[in-house]
Amino acid sequence: MDVIPKKPAESMEPIEQIKARIEAAVPGASIEILQNASPSQQHSLKIDNEHAHDVAKWLHDDPALRLDFCSNVTGVDWLDRTVKKMVKVKKVVDGEEKEVAETTEEKIPGYLEAVYHLYSMTHKHGPVIIRMRTADRAAGARLPSLTPIWRSAEFQEREIFDLYGIRFDGHPDLRRILMWDEFEDYPMRKDYREPDDYEYEPTPHDDVLERAKRYYTPRPQIDGAESIVEPLNG
């Protein structure tokens, strides 16, 4: 049998060109290409939060791209980390100039990230991956919602809010979706510690019993013997 080559997805313009076109179309937007070293070669665009809505709208409406299908929306939690880099520095050692390798440490504060995988059902190409990052990992971390542009983000952004704790501004119905409403923590965060007992409720045993003792005089024993506990109010 002849080997028929696998049909490549309909060719899409390179990501550098998309970046340049966004910057021309949305003034002030700062776009950064995040390279992906893995064999999948799926590079992504980091978009800034202020212009996220405009950029997403442009990606959706641009006739050449027409990214009308937002397939996957997800969160990623990046903890604080230090990156060690080997840098070669020229130094004078014993009167001779030598190249010496030095390690420098760079501290990168943690952040939460929302990732959108966009495809086009009209032109049948994709994916274009866009990412947004929060400033920090605090409980009130915020990002703009893209649900007004792609309805498919509705439940998925709710899920990110539920499991990662990113609040999406402009989401029509931001509630917990998988965990119950009274749940307090965000279980998909990397530093989440699960409680010993999910159903723990304070019982009246300790504090309440102690207080109750002050108001109740002990009952006389059935056999007529005197109580050994002295009444507190007595």
Residues that bind another protein (CB under 8 A): 1, 4-10, 36-40, 42, 68-72, 74, 76, 115, 117, 121, 124, 127, 129, 150-156, 163, 177-180, 187-188
Cβ nearer to another protein, comparing 23 with 187: 187
Cβ nearer to another protein, comparing 10 with 102: 10
Cβ nearer to another protein, comparing 115 with 141: 115
Cβ nearer to another protein, comparing 50 with 80: 80
Shortest approach of another protein to residue 180 CB, angstroms?
Answer: 7
Residue 60: what residue type?
H
Cβ nearer to another protein, comparing 33 with 178: 178
Shortest approach of another protein to residue 86 CB, angstroms?
Answer: 17
Compute and round to an integer the Cα radius of gyration of the chain: 30
Shortest approach of another protein to residue 174 CB, angstroms?
Answer: 14
In whole angstroms, what is the distance from residue 53 CA to residue 176 CA? 23
Shortest approach of another protein to residue 213 CB, angstroms?
Answer: 40
- Neighbouring C-beta atoms of residue 50, cutoff 10 Å: 12
Provide the strand spans (E) within 109-220.
111-120, 125-133, 142-144, 167-169
Angle (CA) 19-120-126 rounded to 5° is 60
Number of residues written out for the chain: 234
CA atoms within 13 A on the CB side of 200: 6
Provide the H-helix boundaries in the chain: 15-25, 52-61, 153-164, 206-215
Shortest approach of another protein to residue 15 CB, angstroms?
Answer: 14
